[in-house]
Amino acid sequence: MTKTTETTTGKTMVTGIPFEGFYETWSDDKIEDMAGLSERYFEYWSDENPQREEETKTNGFATWKIPAETNEEYIQRRDDDFDAIRDTTDYNNLRNEFAAGYVERFADDNSIELKYESLTSPKEYNFTTDRIFAYITKAEVLRLYNSLDQDKLDELIKEKFTSYDGFMSYYTPDQHQWGPVETWDHNQVETIIECAIVDNISDDGLGWYIANLMEDFYR
């Protein structure tokens, strides 16, 4: 897939930005939090909805007992309530909202001019994951490119685009064969961004960076 977009002035490109996806990640937990389905909401629900004890009722003519709720019944009642929330939650909307917020904060944190374009998600997560795309001007791409240590960029390109058993690269791992920077596609431009921000990512990795950047992001 080549994801490129030109405006009428021909000055805007599309790039991917570093993102670990939603599947079994901190970002997925944040989406659950936004939907009201995180662990702390389970705890809140449990506090507000205690397991029912045996209850005696009367209508003035008769008295009867309602048996205590079993642990299995209690868990089933809780799960039914949360299933109902999940069934009515627009997860696509939440993920797009999160992705747009991430682009904005990522851009501010790294002093890169970006504007949210789209989020793509695979049908299956076997081989790929969610990707976030943003608009970036050609002038900004050139500014970033010219600011880089070219040896570090060459190393990153070789690391990302060299074929090996189980991975077939569609790019030569030599940037000098890629043509003018203004013609690079979203994967190539994303590599420039990755190289530009590498010093901002701690040894804990991208996941922790995203968590710290977005920890107070709520709907």
Percent of the chain with pLDDT over 90: 58
> Predicted confidence band at 9 (pLDDT cuts at 50, 70, 90)?
very low
Per-residue pLDDT tens digits for 97-131: 999 999 999 999 999 999 999 999 998 888 889 99
Residue spans per domain, the chain: 12-34+90-214, 38-88
| Residues 28, 31, 32, 33, Cα dihedral to 10° | 120
CB hemisphere CA count around 189 (13 angstroms): 30
Per-residue pLDDT tens digits for 78-106: 888 888 887 888 889 999 999 999 999 99
